[in-house]
């Protein structure tokens, strides 16, 4: 089910392809119903493929067409059997090795109603696609989808009611962010929870940092939110106050399979701090994995202890 293209993106191999993962040196495609991970041998072969005319604009046009197909499959309504009372919720995040924008740790956790982690999985991954703003899904989504697929096969009893993804859903220039890709691919209700505002100027003044800051400053109670609507009035997401001590919002939007109201309710329920617990735990665990297995030079150096120096002792506990 793999295809890779050179020169003018002419296909060399193509068999029933649906899902595309593109990179500046090649385009990979494989069937959504199979979602087989990229093999090491193929990955090595592709590293040696030399392409002429691999212009970023060609990549973007290919990805836009793919996003349009995904966007048509997104549901922003609650499923018929939807229940806001969950048994398990999933969280997905990726952390990069310091100073390295290619090698990273993908992490997937599942929490229960007590916000305790009942399942976790991490994987070192190698980015094969370039980072282009607005196309994060083509760089990261497949690794996270593979982790969810593995859990559903290995331990299906903890399959979550919904997934929370560190990134955007329909709060996106083409209304198809990474959470949408993951929601459509896994079939699970999915919510995008971003820490930073995606400033989409073409959608109007509500998507400027200044406008959000001014309106959000009037919120006092956890669970309150301001909506983010286009100049035509379509609501794409919301800036949510998740804790009493948080002076900044998280930006919540639908990935697929539920309504914005349900997405906001879920995120509010599982937020002890600014970032909701599922994605917060995924972030912490992925960064801890990198600290233990791929430490920076600074982390490799032993801490210098000064007798009686409480500050030094405290640093050693971190």
Of 46-60, 166-180, 287-301, the one with minimum mean pLDDT is 46-60
Res 69 pLDDT > 80 = yes
Predicted local confidence at residue 158, as pLDDT: 97
pLDDT top residue among 246 and 279: 279
Determine the average pLDDT of the residues in 23-44: 38
pLDDT band, very low/low/confident/very high, at 202 (cuts 50, 70, 90): confident
Res 100 pLDDT > 50 = yes
Of 2-16, 156-170, 210-224, the one with minimum mean pLDDT is 2-16
pLDDT top residue among 205 and 95: 95
C-alpha to C-alpha distance for 91 and 165, rounded to whole angstroms: 6
Res 54 pLDDT > 70 = no
Predicted local confidence at residue 79, as pLDDT: 86
pLDDT top residue among 298 and 61: 61
Determine the average pLDDT of the residues in 270-280: 96
pLDDT band, very low/low/confident/very high, at 107 (cuts 50, 70, 90): very high
Res 76 pLDDT > 90 = yes
Res 44 pLDDT > 80 = no
Query: For the chain, what is the HEC assignment?
Result: CCCCEECCCEECCCCCCCEEEEECCEEEEECCCCCCCCCHHHHHHHHCCCCCCCCHHHHHHHHHHHHHHHHCCCCCCCCCCCCCCCCCEEEEEEEECCCCCCEEEEEEEEECCCCCEEEEEEEEEECCCCCCCCCCHHHHHHHHHHHHHHHHHHCHHHCCCEEEEECCCCCCCCCCCHHHHHHHHHCCCEEEEECCCCCCHHHCHHHCHHHHHHHHCCCCCCCCEEEEECCCCCEEEEEECCCCCCCCCEEEEEEECCCHHHHHHHHHHCCCCCCCHHHHHHHHHHHHHHHHHCCCHHHHCCCCCCCCCHHHHHHHHC
Predicted local confidence at residue 301, as pLDDT: 63
Determine the average pLDDT of the residues in 124-129: 93
Predicted local confidence at residue 313, as pLDDT: 35
pLDDT top residue among 282 and 85: 282
């Amino acid at each position: 089910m793999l295809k890779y293209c050179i020169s003018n993106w002419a296909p060399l191999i193509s068999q029933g392809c649906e899902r595309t993962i593109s990179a500046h040196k090649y385009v990979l495609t494989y069937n959504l119903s199979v979602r087989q991970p990229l093999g090491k041998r193929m990955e090595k072969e592709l590293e040696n493929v030399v392409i002429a005319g691999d212009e970023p604009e060609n990549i973007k046009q290919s990805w836009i067409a793919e996003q349009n197909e995904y966007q048509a499959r997104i549901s922003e309504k609650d499923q018929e059997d939807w229940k806001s009372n969950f048994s398990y919720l999933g969280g997905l995040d990726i952390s990069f090795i310091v100073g390295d924008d290619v090698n990273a740790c993908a992490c997937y956790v599942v929490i229960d109603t007590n916000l305790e982690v009942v399942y976790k999985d991490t994987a070192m991954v190698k980015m094969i696609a370039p980072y282009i703003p607005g196309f994060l899904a083509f760089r990261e989504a497949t690794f996270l989808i593979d982790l969810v697929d593995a859990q559903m096969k290995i331990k299906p009893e903890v399959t979550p009611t919904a997934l929370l993804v560190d990134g955007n859903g329909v709060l996106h220039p083409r209304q198809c962010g990474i959470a949408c890709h993951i929601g459509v691919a896994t079939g699970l209700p999915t919510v995008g929870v971003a820490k930073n505002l995606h400033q989409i100027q073409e959608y109007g003044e509500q998507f400027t940092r200044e406008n959000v800051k001014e309106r959000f400053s009037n919120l006092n109670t956890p669970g309150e939110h301001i909506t983010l609507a286009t100049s035509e009035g379509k609501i794409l997401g919301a800036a949510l106050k998740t804790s009493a001590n948080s002076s900044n919002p998280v930006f919540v939007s639908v990935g697929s399979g539920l309504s914005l109201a349900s997405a906001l309710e879920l995120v509010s329920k599982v937020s002890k701090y600014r970032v909701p617990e599922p994605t917060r735990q995924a972030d912490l665990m992925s960064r801890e994995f990198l600290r233990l297995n791929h430490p920076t030079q600074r982390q490799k150096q032993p801490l210098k202890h000064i007798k009686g120096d409480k500050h030094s002792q405290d640093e050693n506990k971190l």
